[in-house]
Structure 1
Amino acid sequence: MIDRLLRLYPREYRTAYGPEIAGTYREMTAGMARWGRLREGSDLAAHALRVRFGLRSADPLGRLAASAAPFAVAAAGVSGGIRVTGWYAGVTLSPTPWRLEFQILHTAEILGLLSLLLTCLGAIVALTGRWAAGVSATVCGLAGTAVLALSETHPNEYQYRIIVPVAAVLTIAVLLACPPDLRPGPGMSAVAGAMAGAAWLPAIVVERGVVGWMSTDYGGWPLLVLAATGVALALRARSSGLRESGAMAMASPPLLADACLLNWYDPKPFAVLLLALPVAALLTAVAEKVRRRPR
């Protein structure tokens, strides 16, 4: 098995370190049960793919994925949370009794709600200290949502079957690309959690009709909060904002997908929302240049 695993490494890396990797693997798995050998093999395969695609902690892309990961899981949680609470708001405002509402749910709807709840729960767990367990739950929830979207009936049926799975796959890719030794610490997890709360709570307040003169028809608020978070991080780090804006762009697919579906028949609002992250990066760069100008 080790020979097949070594083929996953780039040729130059395999030539330089292959014998050493093979020897270490054989020494570690000697006398180990089948499950243990499979676990070690999967870890080695993951490392090989990280080397091949430049996703180690020493690689720029790996560090960018690590910066984006907590906000990607937060964005997935926000998207799922808005949809779950929107469904709950519809149930509570409906004159139909609760029991009857649950009885008429189709199997696909139940599985969809469970996938969304798993995504939200995973995001909470990941950002409150148990990153690996939370990301695993989030990935499972996103995968379930993507699979169900391929067959689920929706007002924008054809668009929904493309946009939702693509957003889910992109988010899963960001979460899995985060190097294990660069998992977010408590500070960045707290920032991502605050971003999620700021993006989710006002949208739900408006959804419930508490503020009657506001609308969430364009789905722009969560994206604006994400962009503002990138600006705040860049200003705090006194950077140009390029890395922070890139991380927020990698984290944005769930929120972009929601905005796209809401604005499918009128693309102008969505086109404006697409400019949020580039404009935020530009404003950050200008602010940093002004700050560094000699006085």
Structure 2
Amino acid sequence: MIRRVLRLYPADYRAAYGGEIADIHEEMTAGMSRPARLRADADLAAHAVRIRLGLHSTAPAGRLVAAAAPFALGAGAVVHGLRLTSWYAGMVTSPAPVGLQLATLPLDYGLALLFSLLVCGGAIMALCGRWVPGVVVAVSGLLGSAALAACVFGELVVAPAVALTTVAVVLACPPDRRADRRLQTTAGIMAGCAWLPVVAVNTRAFGVSTEYGAWPLLVLSASGVVLALREGSRGLREAGAVALASPPMITYACTAWGDARPMLGGLLALALTGAVPAAFRTVRRPR
């Protein structure tokens, strides 16, 4: 089995480290039960794929997805959380008894709410420090939402593509980069700041009565700017991370507008995510 797994590594990497990897793997898995050995083989295969795709923690692509993964989870949680709160607001304002509403809830709509609850709950778990179980729950909800959109609601392209993109970004995060508490905290704050004002607007708690979908995307972009300024970077990686995390929020904005114009605003926001830190560095540079 180990020989087949080693073939997943690039040829030059396998020639340089294959023997050492095989010896260490055999030593570590000696005496393990079959299920435990299969998990170890799967972890090794995942590492080989990361090396081949350049998604390990020392590669630029690996560092990019590591920065994007918490924000992708947060963005997914915001959109699915807005779906849940919209349903809840409609339920409590309806004159029909709550029990009757729940009893007559269509199965497909009930599944959509369940999957949204999994996404939100999993994202909260992951961003609060329990990354692996949280990602398992959130990814289950995202995959369920993608399947439901394609098979039941007839949304064959956009909704499944957005959900699968988020899943890919989250799962691509290198294992040794998952415990970045600063990134997780920033992504959690971003999600809260993107979600709560929209809920307040939709419940008429503010002086305005319409939300056009721009706020969550603006908060996401602002989070990228804050992250770049805090790290003292040029903002390119943060702009890339925001771009990878933005599909759920761009889709939400397009749905609110009823057309694709918010995509232009999204591109402008992404440009600002990279331009603001670069301008700040230029101003701060000693003359």
The reply to whether residue 276 of structure 1 matches residue 269 of structure 2 is yes
Structure 2: which amino acid aligns with 1:88?
A: Y
The structural deviation recorded for 1:152 is 3.1
Comparing 197-206 with 14-23, greater Cα deviation is found at 14-23
Deviation larger for 83-92 or 186-195: 186-195
Q: Offset of 1:22 from its aligned partner? A: 2.1
Contact 2:115/2:144 (<8 A) preserved: yes
Task: Choose 275-284 or 112-121, whichever is displaced more.
Answer: 275-284
Aligned twin of 1:257? 251
TM-score (norm 2): 0.94
Counterpart among 192, 198, 205 of residue 203 in structure 1: 198
- DSSP 3-state at the match of 2:58: coil
- In 1, distance between residues paired with 2:227 and 2:31? 49
Aligned mates of 2:220, 2:242 — CA distance in 1: 7
Corresponding pairs, count: 287
Code of the aligned partner of 1:68:
A
8 Å contact kept, 1:70–1:184: no
- In structure 1, how many angstroms separate the alpha carbons of the residues matched to 2:75 and 2:209? 22
1:267 aligned to which of 253, 260, 265: 260
1:56-205 maps to which residues of 2 (within 5 A)? 56-153=56-153, 157=154, 160-205=155-200
For residues 237 and 25 of structure 1, the distance between their equivalents in structure 2, rounded to whole angstroms, comes to 37
CA shift in 2, pair 1:252/1:269, >3 Å:
closer
For residues 163-201 of structure 1, the C-alpha deviation after alignment (integer angstroms, 9 at most, x for no partner) is 111111111111111111111433322211111110000
Aligned-residue offset at 1:212: 4.7
Cα distance in structure 1, aligned partners of 2:65 and 2:138: 16
SS in 1 for 2:157: helix
Please, which runs of 5 or more residues in structure 1 have no aligned partner?
none
* Contact 2:75 2:191 survives alignment (8 Å): yes
Q: Give the AA of the match of 1:19.
A: G
Residue number in structure 2 paired with 1:285 = 278
Judged with a 3 Å threshold, the aligned counterparts in structure 2 of structure 1 residues 279 and 186 are, in CA distance, closer, same or farther, namely closer
The residue that corresponds to 1:53 in the other structure is: 53
Return 5+ residue gaps in structure 2 as ranges. none
Partner of 1:33: 33
The 4+ residue runs of structure 1 with deviation greater than 4 A are none
Judge conservation of contact 1:115–1:144 (CA < 8 Å) in 2.
yes
1:247, CA displacement in angstroms? 1.1
Instruction: Give the SS at the match of 2:95.
Output: coil
Cα offset for 1:222? 0.4
TM-aligned CA deviation for residue 50 of structure 1: 0.7
CA RMSD of aligned residues (A): 1.6
Deviations 1:242-287 (A, max 9, x none): 11111111111221221233334x3324422332111332233222
- Once the two structures are superposed, residues 60-90 of structure 1 have per-residue CA deviations (whole angstroms, 9 ceiling, x without a partner) of 1111111111111111111111111111111
- Mapped to 1, the partners of 2:260 and 2:182 lie a distance apart of 37
Q: Distance in 1 between matches of 2:29 and 2:208?
A: 65
The alpha carbon displacement at 1:58 in A equals 1.0
> Which amino acid is 2:16 matched to?
A
Counterpart for residue 219 of structure 1: 213
Matched-pair contact (CA < 8 Å) for 1:71–1:192? yes
1:73-118 deviation line (CA, Å, top 9, x unaligned): 1111111111111111111222222122112212222221111101
* Partner-residue secondary structure (3-state), 2:49: helix
**Which one-letter code corresponds to 2:234 in the other structure?**
S
Higher mean alpha-carbon deviation, 246-255 vs 198-207, is at 246-255
Q: Which amino acid aligns with 2:168?
A: A
Rate the CA distance shift 1:80–1:59 in 2: closer, same or farther, 3 A: same
Match of 2:227 among 233, 240, 245: 233
Q: Is 1:75–1:251's contact at 8 Å kept on the other side of the alignment? A: yes
Tell me the amino acid that sits aligned with residue 11 of structure 1. A
Cα 1:237–1:30, aligned 2, differ >3 Å: closer, same or farther? closer
Share of identical aligned residues, percent? 51
